Structure 1
Amino acid sequence: MNYIVLDLEWNQSYRGKQYTVEGLPFEIIQIGAVKLDENKNVQDRWECLVRPVVYKKLHGKVSEMLGISINDLENGKDFKSAADEFLAWCGEDYKFITWGGSDLTEFQRNMKYFGVEYKFPFPFTYYDLQKLYSKVYSDGKTRRSLKAAIEELGFTEDAEYHSAINDAIYTARIFANMDFDSVSVYESIDTYRIPQSRKDEIYMNFNTYEKYISKGFKTREKAADDRTARSCRCYICNKPMRRLIKWFATSSKNYYSVFVCEEHGLFKGRMRVKQCDNGFYYDVRILKQTDEEGVNGIVDKQIKEREHRRKKRMEEHKRKCENQNQNKIKYKYR
Structure 2
Amino acid sequence: MNYIVFDLEWNQCPYGKERGNKRLPFEIIEIGALKLDENRNYKDSFHQVVKPVVYKKLHYRTKEILDIKGSDLEQGIPFIEAVKKFMKWCGPEAKFCTWGSSDLVELQRNMKYYHMLNLLKGPIFYYDIQKLFGLAYEGQRTARSLENAIDFLEMKKDGQFHRALNDAYYTAEIFKGIPVKMAEDYYSIDCYQNPKTRKDQIYTVFPEYSKFISREFLSKEDAMKDRDVVQTRCFLCGKTAKKKIRWFSVNAKAHMCLAFCPNHGYFRGKARLKKTDEGKYYVVRTLKKITQEEAEHIREKRDALRKKRRQKRHQDK
TM range (shorter): over 0.9
The answer to whether structure 1 residue 33 and structure 2 residue 27 are counterparts is no
Q: Distance in 2 between matches of 1:144 and 1:174?
A: 13
In structure 2, the residue matched to 1:135 is: 135
- Contact kept in structure 2, 1:135 and 1:183, CA below 8 Å: no
Decide whether the 8 Å contact of 1:4 with 1:35 is kept in 2.
Answer: yes
Match of 1:256 in 2: 256
Equivalent position of 1:325 in the other structure = none
Whichever residue aligns with residue 53 of structure 2, its letter is V
Secondary structure of the structure 1 residue equivalent to 2:118: coil
Equivalent pairs counted in the alignment come to 317
- Amino acid paired to 1:221: E
Q: Provide the aligned C-alpha RMSD in A.
A: 1.6
Three-state SS of the structure 2 residue aligned to 1:157 is coil
Quick check: 2:122–2:192 contact (8 Å CA) kept in 1?
A: no
Which residue number in structure 2 is paired with residue 192 of structure 1? 192
Q: Distance in 2 between matches of 1:205 and 1:109?
A: 28
Give CA-to-partner distance per residue, 1:14-61, whole Å, 9 cap, x none.
Answer: 112222223211110000001111111111111110000111111111
* Structure exhibiting the larger radius of gyration computed from Cα positions: 1
Report which stretch shifted further, 225-234 or 149-158.
Answer: 225-234
Cα deviation code 1:70-114 (max 9, x no counterpart): 111001010011111111111122200000001111111111212
CA contact (8 A) 2:132 2:178 kept: no
Is this contact kept in 1: 2:9–2:30, CA < 8 A? yes
Per the TM alignment, residue 122 of structure 1 is displaced from its structure 2 partner at its CA by: 4.2
Counterpart CA distance in 2 for 1:301 and 1:35 is 47
TM-score by length of 1: 0.90
Structure 1 residues 101-140: aligned runs within 5 Å: 101-116=101-116, 118-140=118-140
The residue aligned with 2:234 is 234
| Match in the other structure for 1:59 | 59
- Between the aligned partners of 2:204 and 2:243, the Cα distance in structure 1 is 21
Query: Could you tell me which amino acid in structure 2 is paired with residue 263 of structure 1?
Result: N
Q: Output aligned runs, 1:160-175, within 5 Å.
A: 160-175=160-175
1:290 corresponds in structure 2 to: 290
Return the letter of the residue paired with 1:223: A
Instruction: Tell me, in whole angstroms, the C-alpha distance in 2 between the residues paired with 1:99 and 1:266.
Output: 33
Alignment correspondent of 1:322: none
Which 5+ residue runs of structure 2 have no aligned equivalent? none
- Conserved 8 A contact 2:49-2:76: yes
Query: Mind listing any 5+ residue stretches in structure 1 that lack a counterpart?
Result: 318-334
Q: Contact between 1:136 and 1:183, CA under 8 Å: does it hold in 2?
A: no
Q: Which moved more, 1:121-130 or 1:152-161?
A: 121-130
- Could you tell me how far apart the structure 1 residues matched to 2:206 and 2:305 are? 30
- Inter-partner Cα distance in structure 2 for 1:307 and 1:278: 35
Q: Does the aligned pair in 2 maintain the 1:5–1:98 contact within 8 Å?
A: yes
Deviation, structure 1 residue 121: 4.3
Matched, 1:154 2:181: no
Letter of the 1:196 counterpart: K
Rounded to whole Å, the distance in 2 between the matches of 1:119 and 1:85 is 11
Shift of 1:314: 3.9
Look up the match of 2:281: 281
Overall identity of the aligned pairs, in %: 45
TM-score, structure 2 length as denominator?
A: 0.95
| Contact 1:213 1:282 (8 Å CA) reproduced | yes
